[in-house]
Each structure stands twice: as structure tokens, then as C-alpha cells.
Amino acid sequence: MKVLATLFFAVFALAFLAGQSPANAKDCGVPPANSPFIPDGLTATNDDIGVAIRAVQDYGLKVQTYINCLQINKDAFFLNMNEEQRERWSEDFNALADKLTDVETSLNDQIRIYNNRS
């Protein structure tokens, strides 16, 4: 995550120095750093599951907002990147999307375990 944030700020700075206005290369901020806690379905309470669901939904919204901003601004970012930087940007972008999928899958798995306990 730190790498993605560093890469983003470096690209934003390059875009600014190259004459790109902030309107063309919007500052998307930093990616959501911490994924939410997922309780163990074997020991979780109903409240634990509810808190986790809301936390994952909130995290998902933050990740999607960040990813959407990056997608909208991709052309401005790529304008001042070499091929290696573009590839790394894509890898970091995909890693964040994959992390969200992993968090959502983990929650669903634990909900399944929780529901099977009853």
C-alpha cells in the first residue's frame, strides 16, 4: 500500500511539473490502508458479524472511490510515466482491487461458518 501511495504522489508531482493542471491529474489521496477485522465464524457473535459487515462495506466504498478516481485520472498519470512505471501502476491498482475481493470473500466464508454453527 505504501508503494502505491508513494508511486501516486511521484506521478502527481511529475504531472504538475510537466504542466498538467490538478484538474487533469486529480489528487486521489492515499489508498485505504487497513482492511477491516474479520471475526472467526466459529466464535463470533451476531454483533461481531454485524460490525464486520458494516466495516467491510465501508472499506469497500473507500476502495471503490479511490479506484474510480485513479481510473478517471489514468490518462493524466500515464502521460508522464515510462512503460515500467505504467506496469507498476497497473500492478498496484490490481493488487488493491484483489485485496478488496479477498476481504469480501473472507467475510463471506466466516459468515457461512457462523451460520452453520446454528
CA–CA–CA angle 80, 32, 7 (5° rounding) = 20
pLDDT value of position 20: 40
Provide the CA 107 distance to its chain's centre, in angstroms: 16
Is residue 9 scored above 60 in pLDDT? no
pTM of the complete model: 0.73
| Domain layout of the chain by residue ranges | 2-23+46-117
CA 100 to chain centre: 6
Q: What is the pLDDT of residues 35-70, one digit of tens each?
A: 999 999 999 999 999 999 999 999 999 999 999 998
